[in-house]
Amino acid sequence: MHYLMGDVQGCCDALDALLEKLAFSPSRDHLTVLGDLVNRGPRSLATLQRLRGLGSSVTCLLGNHDLHLLAAAQGVRKASKGDTLTQVLDSSDRDALIDWLRHRPMAVQAEGWLCVHAGVVPQWTLATTLQLANELEQELRSAHWADFLKVMYGNEPAHWDETLTGDARLRFAVNVFTRIRFVNDIGTMEFVSKDAGASPPPGHTAWFDAPGRLTRGVPIAFGHWSTLGLVQRPDLLALDTGCVWGGQLSAARVDAGRCEIIQVNCEQAQKPF
């Protein structure tokens, strides 16, 4: 059986509870976690250790909080208010966990679903999405991966241009894969609003409802957007249901042409700020 799971964000107790509810067997089943494995929740270290320990039975995507951990580990970013990464950074497993984390993918296909952390811009095809994910993965897995982290942050460029190269191209791709929520009518990303999809900024729409989206018809599963909550359409799955904010941790069984949602409740570990 194949399961997709939303943002864990260091809520290892909920992760364990959901795996138990799924009767997950590493010898039989596969799990794809849609990014944001760590941060804000109380047990980021245990979460990484648990997921890494599942070996080849789990595929973990990189989300914005996971990239933040990589940057913090390299001294590129300082801890932010609400970060819960100290146990990871101080752990005797630190180097092994950071190395494992930076080798995780940005996008995969699983049982016909394109899996990403945040979304895609309307100008990208499936092939473009997978190509740019591969470019980012190669950069993070290279010997100079820490140098890339130094130029990874920033809101520009915010509009896709296929002629983009170098740092600008990779930064744009990072922002799409880990930050996108709303776009305007020409596909330019907006990075301020975190409201639900029903309340877009003026002149904007949720990325998945953008007119002319070239991945329309491609089933896409994503996390990242806790205020959006669970969305289940034939070709769209939003699985960040706000576990770290006291919501639920959600998984979807997607094999054999089905899409069955399984959830566990979470104790509130953080307050939004």
pLDDT tens per residue, range 88-115: 999 999 999 999 999 999 999 999 999 9
**Helix/strand/coil for 110:** strand
Please compute the mean of the pLDDT values over residues 36-59 and round it to a whole number.
98
Between 254 and 81, name the one with better pLDDT.
254
How many CA atoms, within 13 angstroms, populate the side-chain half-sphere of residue 57?
A: 13
Which strand (E) or helix (H) includes residue 70? helix 64-73
- Residue pair 240/6 in contact (Cβ under 8 Å)? The answer is yes
CA dihedral sign of residues 208, 213, 217, 219: negative
Please compute the mean of the pLDDT values over residues 125-136 and round it to a whole number.
98
Return the residue matching tokens 């896409």: 220
Cβ of 9: how many Cβ atoms within 10 Å? Answer: 33
The DSSP call for residue 202 is: T
Return d(Cα 29, Cα 103) in angstroms, integer.
22
What residue segments make up the domains of the chain, in order of their start? Answer: 2-265
In the chain, the amino acid numbered 114 is: L
Return d(Cα 208, Cα 190) in angstroms, integer.
14
Closest CA to 149 of 74, 224, 37: 74
Closest CA to 63 of 141, 220, 176, 155: 176
Return d(Cα 17, Cα 20) in angstroms, integer.
5
pLDDT(203) > 60: yes
Identify whether 219 is preceded by a cis peptide bond (ω within 30 of 0): no
| pTM across the whole model | 0.96
Band (268; pLDDT cuts 50, 70, 90):
low
Return d(Cα 80, Cα 124) in angstroms, integer.
32
pLDDT(19) > 90: yes
pLDDT tens per residue, range 160-185: 999 999 999 999 999 999 999 999 99
pLDDT(271) > 50: no
Closest CA to 167 of 179, 176, 156: 156
CATH number, span 2-265? 3.60.21.10
The mean pLDDT of the chain is 95
